[in-house]
Structure 1
Amino acid sequence: MLRQFSRGLPLKTIAADLNRSIKTVSTQKRSVMRKLDIATDQLLMEFCLNTNLY
């Protein structure tokens, strides 16, 4: 999910690719952000790029 997010795919597309609801994908993204102590989508994107997660 993070790799798809880091490629710029919208949550709707990610959810469809993973056969999950948009709400589930959104919850998973928020959970990852909380665990990594990341507050914004921009910082999450920077994290993905800095860790070559694309």
Structure 2
Amino acid sequence: MKLQDARTLTPSQLEDRRKQAVLLRKQGLTYAEIGVIVDVGRNKVSEWVKK
């Protein structure tokens, strides 16, 4: 699976994805599942959720 290069996203787009990832995690999804939905790696999801 090829993920979108996050460097091409605007700060606003990244923040929107981060917020969505945090909400999905609160709903009980795994980091891998969230990564597929928001199009980032599971490690990035983990970083976002821990902040």
Give the TM bin, normalised by the shorter chain: 0.5 to 0.7
**Is structure 2 residue 26 aligned with structure 1 residue 6?**
yes
Unpaired segments of 5 or more residues in structure 1? 32-54
* TM-score computed with the length of structure 2 as normaliser: 0.55
Q: Which structure exhibits the higher relative contact order, with contacts defined as CA atoms closer than 8 Å and separated by 6 or more residues?
A: 1
After TM superposition, which residue ranges in structure 1, 4 or more long, deviate above 4 angstroms?
A: none
Percent of aligned pairs with the same residue?
Answer: 16
Query: May I ask how many residue pairs the two structures share in their alignment?
Result: 31
Structure 2: gaps of 5 or more residues: 1-20
TM-score (norm 1): 0.52
